[in-house]
Structure 1
Amino acid sequence: MTAVDQQGGFPEEAAHEGSLADSLHGLVRLLRLMQRNQATLAWCVAGCTVIAMAYYVAAPRFYSSTAKLLLIEQDPDSVSSVAEGGRADDLMATHRELVKSPVVLQNAISDLPPEHRIDLETINPSHWVEELGRGLSASTVRRTKFIQVSYKSRRPESAVAVVNAVINSYLHFVEETHRSTAAEVLDVLTIERDQLQSELLRKQKLLQEARERCGHLAIDQKDGVVDPMIGRAIHLNDALMEAQQRRLDLQGSLASVAMAMARGDDMRNYLSVVEEAVGEQMMLAALGLSHQDMEMLTSQQQRLMETQDELRRLSPHYGPNHPQIKELTEQVAALQQYLSSYHAASGSRYASINNGDLGPMIKRTLEQSVAQAMEQERILAESFEDARVNAARQSGDLVELDMRKREVERLESLHDVLFEKIAAVDIHQVQAPIRASIVEEPLPEETPVSPRFARLFGSALVGGVLLGAGIVFIRDQLDDRFASPDEMSQQLELPVLSVVRTLNPLPGTGLDAVHMHVDANSVEAEAFRTLRTSLTLRGEETERLVISSAEPSDGKTTVSSNLGVAFAQVGKRTLIIDADLRKPGMTSLMGLKGHAGVTDILICEGAIGALAERCLVKTGLDKLDVIPAGPRRPDAAELLSGPNFGELLAWAEGRYDQVLVDCPPVLAVSDAQIIGRLVDGVVVVVTPEKNHRRLVVRACDSFLHAGCHVHGVVANRISNKSEGGYGYGYGYGYGYGHSDEEERVEEKVEHDLSPVEPAAASWRRPTEGPADADRAA
């Protein structure tokens, strides 16, 4: 986990920026690796350059010749010369592959003069087509009508000859293929046409025979005209239905009259029935009236109405004594008198008719009408039956005739289509489907296209850089160790508080084995002053610190003891607590094995302060005390999780200015995480030559996940040897030291110093002088 994760994690809206930052960080890291391994890159580039130079000197020279073809499609149905869209792309791609096809290349080789077969001299003739195809290239440019044909040969003239031979072979193949195809199509269409003509003649003969057999009149059925025989049957059917309806009406009227006579009804009421059945004229004749009488009566009524209208029109303008008014009045009176007299005479004639004579007269009239209707119906029925039989026979013949007519029309239409196809093939038989024109003639080039100096050496340079970068990256991944303080700080997102040299073991125990106490002015001791200054001036609470590491044997006890001495030397009351209850390194260093310590405090009940006072050990250095680990216990984590250790820290905070807790490695056990939650922060000791990156990252993440604050890391056991840029070194020169007076001045002004974070490009560098060490601090 990084420092940002410790504060609560990335916000969701910053996820993309974080990913981009990681990518940039990885790129920068790779560039730094390449910078530190310039020798590897230089060797790779030099090797690739030498190989490229040898190839350039030894490789044969090839010369290229290029021709450009313009393709135009010969399509009479197309508005443009070349089809648009996907069809044009398919056409160009087809002919591009056709240029390189084996059949075209084989014909080109046959036409190629022997002196221009220089590229095929050492090749088996069975492989000439493949060899020629390797040097030949055909390409098209999208949305254009051009095909570029190129060939590379060891002689410029041979390249030109091969391109010309390939183009001529391609054009000849297209033309011959189309000619043979057109001839085959024409033969097939001609055979089909002959067969169709024979079938058409036979169908036309059958059609004529059908027309003669049925006596068909040439009537266009599309105009809605019905055949005469069928029309006659339809007309007779309509007449028969009308006769049957008339007979039924007369029989109904006759039955009604017979029933009325049987009841003795007034037969004058049935005159209307007679009128409907036998007609108006017959009824008038039966009553002694004529049709002329009815016309006269109607004429007089019409004249009366016209005279009355004229009188009404003139009355508003003339008086009653006006001659014209008087004349019209007299005419109206005369006409009214005539009509009254006629109606009176008709009424008396109608009244004089005897009911006994009227009934039989009506009955006889209706019986005669019924007999006439039945006879007419019989005649119509016989005529209709004959017409129906003839019409049915005629309909079958007409259906057969119509079917044969449609067959003839279909064959005639197909014959016309075949005729048009034959004409089209015949017209275009000598014309290829496409026309190719050479718009750029192949010319010899004096400059070889292979090998090219600029391209070859540019590729060598790029290949060398990529090869070197790959080697550097793979070696870095296999090494999996931090290459520099900057890399460690960037990947952990934690500061490197100090860089400690490899310390030679000192004889003795206690403070005699602590370099900071034995030789405070040595180059090795300066790293712990740097660590002390970095912690003091961080601006955070650092009075209670846990010193831990990722793995065992990383030097956490060495750093704890020397840092404790460094704090005590500046007058701070310092307490070192050995909380490594499993392998108490601090207890062994101080020679306190068997002495009561932390274990006794954690398992005992009572006042923690009193117990701590009994376990406290004074060192030979004023203001520096130690509480050893005590007896080893298998349940160290459970003891440290109890309340007694927290009370011990509270007691120590009240008595001392600085409390350092030496804890076991965090990846081995959880003791350091338990204690880290109770103190102000954690300092992680890292041995770059031993620890893998992933283990150090996991160690820091384990502290952060447990809620511990990590102040930074200490790089321990840094050697002065350089190993190809991957060594580790800080760089204080040997012989650099302080006098006693300078040390007292340093103790007074130490709070004004800035924390030291090494900015070395790598862990191992040549030894620096005192001035360089001052600048690094």
Structure 2
Amino acid sequence: MSRDSHYNEQNSTSEAVRAVLRFLRVIRYRKSYLIVALTTAVLLGSVYYFTAARIYEAKASLLITQSSPDVWNGAASSEVGRHGLIPTYEQLFSSAVILNGATQRLARLPAALRVDFLSVPRDKWIDVLRANVSARSVRNTNIIELSCRSRDPAAGEAVVGAVVDSYLEFIERNHKDVSVEVVTILEKERQVTEAKLEQKKRSLLELKRQIKDFGLREGSIHPEVQRVLQLNKAIMEVQEERLQLQASLTSVRSAVRSGKDLRQHLINLEPVVGDRLISSALGLSPLSSQLVNDMERKLIEDRSKLAMYRGHYGPNHPQVRQLQHSLQLAQAHREEYHAKVQKHMEKVQERELGPLLISMLEEKLFEAWTFEKGLLKEYQALEESALTLNDDMAELTITERDVERLSRLHDTLLERISNIDMTQHRANVRVSVVSEPAASRMPVSPRLAFVGVLCLTFGLGGGTGLIYVLDLLDDRFRSPEELQEQLELPVLAMIGNLEVGNELGLGALQVHASPDAVESEAFRTLRTTLAFSESDTECIAVTSSEPGDGKTTVLANLGLVWAQVGKKTLLIDADMRRPGLSRLLDMRGTSGLSDVLRGEGAVGEICERLVQSADVPHLDILPCGPRPADPVELLSGTRIVDLLGWAQSRYDQILIDCPPIMAASDAAIVGHLADGIMLVVQPEKNHRRVVFRAVASLLGMRNKVIGIIANRIQPQDQRGYYGYGYAYDYSSPEDENEQISTSKPAAGTPQEQVSPDPASKPSGAKKRVVPRRAA
């Protein structure tokens, strides 16, 4: 892809170079127009130079310096002068106040110094000054150069002097006591800022009292906000407890309805309703519970002592026996107690345990629900207060920032005021005249060098433009030399105008009908040119830029003159869109090239069968055959290569008739396989740009263009210019009548000098040649 883009870039560059060179050649051919345009421009410039009024220029220079720092921003004077000072004071010269002061001074001068204002009303003098006076700053300096153009040198100096005096007066008037004025402005701004600052401070104090600010700052939480957060946490805990009680109540009710054992529920509800409440519900007093706990603790201690005594005293020691007896009594008492509790629980479960548990759970659930509602009510009240507090805190923050901003602005204004130089009657900008008004003694307009360059530019530009327009309008080749130079291709032959006849076959060929005519000698000249060509020309394709240029007639006559010198010649009709050669030689309706390319057998065998012999020795023709639907596809295959290889092994000369290159790409495909391709051009008919595109198309597809054949050349003594004719339709065979002549040469027509017919090329022994594409 990159290779193709590189090739396209080189191709476009070469085409642009060729276009420029071609236009330069057009200029050379039409150089008379360029000379006329240049002469006219010089004459007009000369008239202007000798008749125009002489204009003189007076100049003065002023130096702008800053004598103190800028009272506004404290920047250095050099930086201000470089970036803002000089352009500002330069624009002042064109202001109405400066020019109005200059006109008042000019009104008091003698009339001789007001030559530029004599015929102008007084109210228009400012417009005259704006047109004649200009100011420009010298680069990288603080110097402004003032100039004025006038018809009289002394009048120009007077105008420049009046403008400079008016400018100096304005600077002096506007820059005097500037420090006092600046201090006054800054003091007013400071007072306004101070009033705003006091107001903001009062607002800040009022907000702090309103929201009861405890000195909390960023990173801490207000007490009311903390209270809201605590209430929210408590509400979540109470809601969790209420949901647990609701679930327990539902489970107990279900167990009561289904008659299930409630002891497991009783154990699970102990953390919810409390162990004392459970004991009370079972008929167990707190004292009984205490006794049971003491007994359990006594059992644990006795067991520990028994284990220790057995290790020291043995099993038969009295103390060991006493501890064993005590443990037996305690265990019996505990078992009796548990049996009593179990019996009591069975009685209670049968009668009172279920309702009792339900009652206790409902009571606890009501307490939790009441407590939750109280918390929610308090939370809602505190939430509204917290939201209001949040808005107040935001307003407090904004007010604090305003106070801080106004404080900084107030301090800045105080610092600016303290830094201003309060010295009176001293301007911070000084203007000095470094060059007094002086006029040149030589006129600045008109200048000979400028007029000369202008005449040369307009003369060359106008002449070139005129030539380009004429070249666009006269889109013809004016001579064979122009054709050869602009296309950069050799003109192989120039064939005269042949009369059109209705005869078909060999009788329609000029060389056969009138072998001694001048037109016939042109074909022999073409044969001689090709015979002595340095490159191979055994297989040649012939095409044209448009239909009706006579390419078929040229090819048939050229093939006939090759056969007349004993060269075995083959004519191939490769125009499978509009087969002109087959029609010219009256071979339409016969098999031919399309059958060879579409066939499946050996190419040589099919060609031997389809090639037809003409009535002239050594001349054979391969007609077009039936017209295919897609000729490009057939010509792009490999059988055309085999066909040309077979033909070159049996014939001395092969000529291939191709469609016009601008109508189809068939000619480029065939020309790439042949040794070269010739382009038939009819200067009287073909547009120059069409021929350029045809040649560019052939070269762009890497075809070797042997040269140009100029057809139907008009004699120079008949017409000085070629006429126009244009036909570009290539849709049906009836639209084209290729020019076929059976006429005799006109009497008195001058004979061309023709070189003798070569019998053969001086190329030694004959060898088999294959097409360039196949090689």
| 1:100 to 2:94 alignment | yes
| 1:457 to 2:452 alignment | yes
What's the secondary structure of 1:467's corresponding residue? helix
Deviation at 1:168, TM superposition (A): 0.7
Distance 1:473 1:416, change over 3 A: closer
Kept after mapping to 1: 8 A contact 2:69/2:428? no
Counterparts of 1:97 and 1:168, CA distance in 2: 16
Q: 1:145 aligns with which of 142, 145, 167?
A: 142
Corresponding position of 1:498: 492
**Residues 127-171 of structure 1, C-alpha deviations (whole Å, 9 max, x = no match):** 332221111111222122322211111222211111110111111
**Residues 473-504 of structure 1, C-alpha deviations (whole Å, 9 max, x = no match):** 34445666667778877887x74352424422
Q: 1:735 aligns with which of 750, 757, 760?
A: 750
Deviation at 1:94, TM superposition (A): 2.0
Corresponding position of 1:52: 45
**Residues 96-147 of structure 1, C-alpha deviations (whole Å, 9 max, x = no match):** 2212222111110111026233323444444332221111111222122322
Counterparts of 1:549 and 1:590, CA distance in 2: 19
Counterparts of 1:532 and 1:628, CA distance in 2: 22
Deviation at 1:468, TM superposition (A): 1.7
Q: 2:173 aligns with which of 172, 176, 193?
A: 176
Corresponding position of 1:287: none
| 1:437 to 2:433 alignment | yes
Which residue identity is paired with 1:498? L
Corresponding position of 1:90: 84
Q: Please, what TM-score do these two structures have when normalized by structure 2?
A: 0.56
Q: For residues 545-560 of structure 1, what are the structure 2 equivalents within 5 Å?
A: 545-560=540-555
Corresponding position of 2:679: 684
What's the secondary structure of 1:179's corresponding residue? coil
Kept after mapping to 2: 8 A contact 1:641/1:674? yes
Which residue identity is paired with 2:467? V
Counterparts of 1:655 and 1:505, CA distance in 2: 35
Counterparts of 2:189 and 2:752, CA distance in 1: 116
What's the secondary structure of 1:163's corresponding residue? helix
Distance 1:97 1:77, change over 3 A: closer
Corresponding position of 1:747: 758
Distance 1:16 1:124, change over 3 A: farther
Counterparts of 1:666 and 1:134, CA distance in 2: 63
Deviation at 1:658, TM superposition (A): 0.8
Which residue identity is paired with 2:539? R
What's the secondary structure of 1:166's corresponding residue? helix
Q: 1:133 aligns with which of 100, 119, 130?
A: 130
- Please, which runs of 5 or more residues in structure 2 have no aligned partner? 194-408, 725-747, 764-775
Kept after mapping to 2: 8 A contact 1:546/1:682? yes
Deviation at 1:51, TM superposition (A): 3.3
| 1:34 to 2:23 alignment | no
Q: CA RMSD in A?
A: 4.8
**Residues 14-71 of structure 1, C-alpha deviations (whole Å, 9 max, x = no match):** 9988777666544433332222221221232233334334433553332221122233
Query: Which is worse superposed, 674-683 or 143-152?
Result: 674-683
Deviation at 1:647, TM superposition (A): 6.1
Corresponding position of 2:163: 166
Kept after mapping to 1: 8 A contact 2:183/2:417? no
Distance 1:148 1:719, change over 3 A: farther
What's the secondary structure of 1:667's corresponding residue? coil
- Please, which runs of 5 or more residues in structure 1 have no aligned partner? 197-409, 753-777
Corresponding position of 2:64: 71
Counterparts of 2:186 and 2:760, CA distance in 1: 114
What's the secondary structure of 2:563's corresponding residue? helix
**Residues 423-464 of structure 1, C-alpha deviations (whole Å, 9 max, x = no match):** x3434x14461131232x223444322222332232022111
Counterparts of 1:137 and 1:19, CA distance in 2: 49
The structure having more radius of gyration, on CA atoms, is: 1
Distance 1:155 1:93, change over 3 A: same
Corresponding position of 1:561: 556
Distance 1:479 1:138, change over 3 A: same
Counterparts of 1:433 and 1:692, CA distance in 2: 73
Deviation at 1:572, TM superposition (A): 1.2
Kept after mapping to 2: 8 A contact 1:496/1:715? no
Kept after mapping to 2: 8 A contact 1:536/1:542? yes
Query: Which is worse superposed, 605-614 or 33-42?
Result: 605-614
Q: Please, what TM-score do these two structures have when normalized by structure 1?
A: 0.55
Counterparts of 1:411 and 1:552, CA distance in 2: 93
What's the secondary structure of 1:665's corresponding residue? coil
Counterparts of 1:605 and 1:537, CA distance in 2: 39
Distance 1:750 1:110, change over 3 A: farther
Corresponding position of 1:110: 104
Which residue identity is paired with 1:99? F
Corresponding position of 1:587: 582
Counterparts of 1:430 and 1:46, CA distance in 2: 64
What's the secondary structure of 1:152's corresponding residue? strand
Deviation at 1:656, TM superposition (A): 1.9
Counterparts of 2:592 and 2:183, CA distance in 1: 115
Kept after mapping to 2: 8 A contact 1:74/1:435? no
What's the secondary structure of 1:104's corresponding residue? helix
Corresponding position of 1:666: 661
Kept after mapping to 2: 8 A contact 1:546/1:663? yes
Counterparts of 1:513 and 1:530, CA distance in 2: 20
Distance 1:617 1:453, change over 3 A: same
Q: Percent identity?
A: 37
Counterparts of 1:157 and 1:164, CA distance in 2: 11
